[in-house]
Structure 1
């Protein structure tokens, strides 16, 4: 019993993202932070600690930092995506990998991220028949493309020409 508790505490410390244990003995894990550049796609992935088919349940990914009643980034229920409650800023930009759901993995791709996409993303799965309820939160950090890269390239070219003339 004590080894089980120690193992659980070690797992919680190194699992990465913040996750909430729920009924059914399943736990979700996810990275604590994901960093991406503005305009690039990003993949958010949440995993159950052991394989379980999630395709018959509900999967909801939300932005927990937004003060809006409908903070849904993506919703999957009744074996399909439900775009109705989705926030307008995510419409036609999210893709959920349905085959991964059968392995207990929630993989959500967001295309062409914006600076406003930065924030905490919480995945929540619910399947009452399987007595499964779990969630996990990861922080998405979107950065601007470096505006100084052309200046660095110019300086490198000048420096190279200077070295070329010395030798």
Structure 2
């Protein structure tokens, strides 16, 4: 998910509040949102920055840096590394901060209209802070602007909670062992029902056979009595 803040590639500038004060009426200046750009940890985010009015900067140097990051004063040969540097129509990877390698890019097709917005992929909590966009050779007084990024850790909290929940889930193998040792409740209940049915059927069959025998005996006795009576006559 990409968070645009109030960013639209169609450049709906009237809807934004920008930090680009006191620019030269005849020159150009950089503009960026005054309000911080918010993103959740793990998201992709775009930090908007534009040349106003529109101006082709494909042949100019574009720098994105961390203004609060200073070179090591104890090392005279140290230099400030960048979040992103565009120079001679390509990215200068050698000057890039290690943690941003492979994670930052410009919209190069939009440079011809002055869009130097920066995309940061897979945002981390450590990415939060101020970002400076700068065009050294831009004709105008305001050649830089600052964008503030706020990273929300809630997505990480949700992930941690889900991980804890999953870790408390019993092992399926253990569940299988329990089921093998302790049969489900319906098995003994069904067994009892089957036994009861068999007993009832048995009693029914026995009763039927007994009644049949009794009827036969009564019929035989009646026939014998009638035969004896006839012989006596």
> Shared fold (TM-score greater than 0.5)?
yes
Is the 1:20–1:28 Cα contact (8 Å) retained in structure 2?
Answer: no
Structure 1: stretches of 5+ with no match in the other structure = 1-13, 152-167
Higher radius of gyration, 1 or 2: 2
Match of 2:55 in 1: 52
Summarize the alignment of residues 80-159 of structure 1 with structure 2, pairs less than 5 Å apart.
80-127=90-137, 131=139, 134-145=143-154, 147=157
Structure 2 residue matching 1:89: 3-state secondary structure:
helix
**Ranges of 4+ aligned residues in structure 1 off by more than 6 Å:** 148-151
Counting only pairs closer than 5 Å after superposition, residues 5-16 of structure 1 correspond to structure 2 as 15-16=17-18
Q: Specify the alignment match of 1:79 in structure 2.
A: 89
1:70 to 73, 76, 80: 80
Number of corresponding residues: 136
Asked if 1:26 is matched to 2:41, the reply is no
Compute the TM-score of the two structures, normalised by the length of structure 2: 0.52
**CA distance in 2: counterparts of 1:65 and 1:55, whole angstroms:** 27
Higher normalized contact order (CA 8 Å, seq sep 6+, divided by chain length): 1
Of Structure 1 and Structure 2, the greater helix share is in: 2
Looking at secondary structure, tell me which structure has more strand per residue: 1
Q: CA deviation at 1:113?
A: 0.7
Normalising by structure 1, we get a TM-score of: 0.71
Please give the per-residue CA displacement for 1:20-46, whole angstroms capped at 9, x wherever unaligned.
747961111111210101110111110
Structure 2: any 5+ residue segments left out of the alignment?
1-15, 72-78, 163-233
CA–CA distance in 1 between the matches of 2:22 and 2:42? 31
